[in-house]
Structure 1
């Protein structure tokens, strides 16, 4: 049995208290507790404690400190159950305490994976250009149950997808290389939209509609630039029919149409047939 002889406030933590005890051999420091533990157990000077009670108090305080860790972790943003669990494990919290803390957080509705998923989807829609499939993958990686992730991702409707994808495509088309064919640009955008997690129907519809943005003058300028480059490259080693085929194959691989390519070959026929003439 021990008796509490003094209770003092810690200098750096005014919400924590040092408990001094006397076991019959003089006063010495016993342990420290949070204010909530102090009040809950009505700790005061001259209160007599047995060994079991001391152990219980230390246990309660350790649990409270670990719970406070979780609350602080939650104070920055919403968290999933998995995120909190992993954080407490990282902080080396006792497994039994982790379970108690998780149960308490869930009962107090401080942790709700369904609400987290819905808020996460809304935030991603507003702040990123990521599509729903990628957002859903992020939710699953954060430990959200597939059911909740699936329900939340329904907030990312076709209309929202189309608006986000179309806006992103228009921006990228305006800023892309002027020497690439429109088809090549669109193919690259298609691949990126898939990587961003947009659904196939949205990608197809956006890229179909984006064909209206094609600039024929810019397309011809890109073809001429690429065609002249191919002409300079190949006419040092070949000429005539073979040279025409080399240029035609190269331009076709870059996404230009046969009609445009033939027009270029016709207009540059003089340079094709006369390899000594500079462009």
Structure 2
């Protein structure tokens, strides 16, 4: 049995207290506890503590410190259960304490993966150009249950997807003026799919963009590409064979046969 002889406030941590004990061999430092543990167990001078109680107090304080770590981690933004668990594992918290902390945080409504998923999707829709499939993948990676992820993604409607994807596509269209319109469209389709938009949305965007084709820009792109191809192919071919090689190359780049013929049979005719 040991008796508490002194309780002092730590200099650097005003909410933590050092407990000094005397077990019959003189006073010495025993352990430290958080203010919450001090109050809960009514620790005070002259209180007698047996070894089992001391061990319990130390464990209780360790749990409280780990819980405080989790609360601090949550103070920056919402977290999933998996994120909290991974963080506490990184901090070398005992698995038993992690389970208790997660249960407490859930009971206090400080973590809720369903609410997290809803908030995450809303934020991604407002602040990024990512489509729903990419956002859903992010949720799964963060440990959100697939059911919750699916429910949250449903708020990312076809109309919202289309508006976002179309805005993104129009911004990119024309940035590669050296490429044919068809080639730009193909690249846009691939880019939108990588961004996580559905095939239906990508097809609708493609249909909407057909009116964006500008003949002058297409001709300028063809001339730039055509002159480059001509310079390269003239080193090996001439006449009809040269014309066929140029046609094949430009057609693969997405230009129409009519436009290619206009280029070849105009001032660039060999």
Give the TM interval when normalised to the shorter protein: over 0.9
- Counterpart for residue 39 of structure 1: 39
1:245 aligns with 2:206: no
1:238 aligns to what SS in structure 2? coil
1:28 aligns with 2:67: no
TM-score, L = length of structure 1:
0.95
Q: Deviations over 1:97-149 (max 9, x none)?
A: 11110110111110000000000000000111000000000000000000000
- Counterpart for residue 230 of structure 1: 229
User: How many residues matched?
Assistant: 270
TM-score, L = length of structure 2:
0.98
In 2, the alpha carbon distance for the partners of 1:93 and 1:234 equals 68
In 2, the alpha carbon distance for the partners of 1:268 and 1:226 equals 15
Structure 2, unmatched stretches of 5+, are none
Structure 1, unmatched stretches of 5+, are 273-279
Q: Deviations over 1:35-78 (max 9, x none)?
A: 00000000000000111110111011000000000000100000
In 2, the alpha carbon distance for the partners of 1:226 and 1:145 equals 50
In 1, the alpha carbon distance for the partners of 2:248 and 2:88 equals 61
Q: How far did residue 269 of structure 1 move?
A: 5.6
CA RMSD of aligned residues (A): 0.8
Divergent runs of 4+, >4 A: none
1:30 aligns to what SS in structure 2? strand
- Counterpart for residue 145 of structure 1: 145
In 2, the alpha carbon distance for the partners of 1:137 and 1:166 equals 22
1:123 aligns to what SS in structure 2? helix
Give the 5 Å matches for 1:99-114.
99-114=99-114
Q: How far did residue 238 of structure 1 move?
A: 1.2
